[in-house]
C-alpha cells in the first residue's frame, strides 16, 4: 500500500512538473524614438521659439533654430538657392554691359565686364570649395557661438536696457517676409520682435532674417541683431559693424585674379 501511494505521489509530481511552462525570457523594451525638435511652421512660430530660448537663457536651443544648428544639409540647400540667384544676377549685369558696343563702355564698365566673366567662370568651383571643410568648420562655429556670440547678443540687450528674463514678446512684425527673398524663388525675409518690459513698451527690438527650407520649416539664416528705437517695417541695418552672434553664410566671391 505504501509503495502504491509513493508511486502515485511520484506520478503526480512528474505530471505537475510537466505541466509547468518555463517562464519566457524577458524581452528588451523597444528603443524609444528620438524626439525631433518641432519644425516651426511660420515666421511667427519661429519668433516665439526664439523668444523661449532667450527667456530660458539657452544658447544651445537658440543655435538649433538657425542654419548653424541644422547642419550641412540646411547650409547646402540654402547656399544652392543663393548660388543660383548670384549666378542669375551676375549674368544679367554682364548681359546689360555687353549689350552696349565696346567703344561706348567706360573703362570702369569694361573692367567690370572682365571681372564678371572671371567670377562666373570660377563661381561653381569656388562654391564647391567653400563646402569642402564645412564638416570641420561647423563644429568650430557652433563652439564660437556658444562661447562668444551668445554673450555678444546678451551684451547688446544690456546696452539697450533690455533685461533678458523680463522681456515679454508683444508683437512679431513679418512685413519684411517675401516670396522672393534675396531676389530668388525663396520665401523668407526679415522678422522683427517687439517687446514690453515690466508692462511698458520697449523701444529696442530684435530682428533676424529667416527662410522656409524643405523639411526644416522656418530657419534663421543670419545673425539676430538688437536694434535701438526700431519702428515696425523693413529698415536698413542700424549698425552694420555690430558683431554678429551667429556666423552667417555668405555667397562665395572672387576677384579678377580668381582669388
Instruction: Give pTM, 2 decimals.
Output: 0.65
Confidence of residue 231 (pLDDT cuts 50, 70, 90): low
Q: 159 in a domain, yes or no? A: yes
What's the average model confidence in pLDDT over 148-177?
A: 93
Q: 142 in a domain, yes or no? A: yes
pLDDT digits (tens, 9 = 90+) for 59-76: 999 999 998 888 777 877
Question: Residue 129: its pLDDT value, please?
Answer: 65
Q: 78 in a domain, yes or no? A: yes
Q: 234 in a domain, yes or no? A: no
**Total number of domains in the chain:** 1
Q: 250 in a domain, yes or no? A: no
Q: 242 in a domain, yes or no? A: no
Least confident window among 69-83, 108-122, 148-162, 204-218? 69-83
Report how far apart, in Å, the C-alpha atoms of 96 and of each of 58, 93, 101, 113 are.
49, 5, 11, 10
CB 139 within 8 Å of CB 147: no
Place of cell 547688446: 156
Domain that includes residue 155, residue range: 43-227
Place of cell 512679431: 172
Q: 82 in a domain, yes or no? A: yes
Which of residues 96 and 135 earns the better pLDDT score? 96
Q: 200 in a domain, yes or no? A: yes
Amino acid at each position: 500500500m505504501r509503495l502504491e501511494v509513493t508511486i502515485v505521489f511520484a506520478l503526480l509530481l512528474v505530471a505537475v512538473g510537466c505541466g509547468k511552462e518555463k517562464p519566457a525570457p524577458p524581452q528588451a523594451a523597444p528603443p524609444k524614438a528620438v524626439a525631433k525638435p518641432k519644425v516651426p511652421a511660420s515666421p511667427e512660430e519661429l519668433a516665439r521659439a526664439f523668444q523661449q530660448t532667450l527667456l530660458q537663457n539657452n544658447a544651445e536651443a537658440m543655435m538649433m533654430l538657425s542654419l548653424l544648428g541644422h547642419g550641412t544639409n540646411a547650409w547646402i540647400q540654402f547656399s544652392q538657392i543663393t548660388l543660383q540667384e548670384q549666378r542669375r544676377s551676375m549674368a544679367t549685369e554682364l548681359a546689360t554691359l555687353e549689350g552696349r558696343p565696346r567703344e561706348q563702355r567706360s573703362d570702369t564698365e569694361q573692367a567690370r565686364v572682365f571681372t564678371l566673366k572671371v567670377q562666373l567662370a570660377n563661381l561653381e568651383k569656388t562654391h564647391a570649395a567653400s563646402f569642402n571643410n564645412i564638416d570641420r568648420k561647423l563644429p568650430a562655429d557652433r563652439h564660437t557661438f556658444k562661447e562668444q556670440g551668445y554673450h555678444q547678443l546678451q551684451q547688446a540687450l544690456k546696452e539697450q536696457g533690455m533685461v533678458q528674463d523680463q522681456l515679454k514678446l508683444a508683437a512679431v512684425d513679418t512685413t519684411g517676409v517675401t516670396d522672393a527673398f534675396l531676389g530668388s524663388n525663396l520665401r523668407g525675409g526679415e522678422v522683427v520682435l517687439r517687446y514690453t518690459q515690466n508692462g511698458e513698451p520697449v523701444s529696442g527690438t530684435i530682428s533676424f532674417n529667416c527662410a522656409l527650407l524643405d523639411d526644416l520649416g522656418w530657419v534663421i539664416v543670419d545673425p539676430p541683431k538688437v536694434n535701438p528705437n526700431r519702428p515696425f517695417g523693413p529698415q536698413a541695418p542700424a549698425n552694420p559693424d555690430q558683431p554678429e552672434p551667429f556666423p552667417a553664410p555668405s555667397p562665395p566671391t572672387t576677384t579678377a585674379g580668381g582669388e
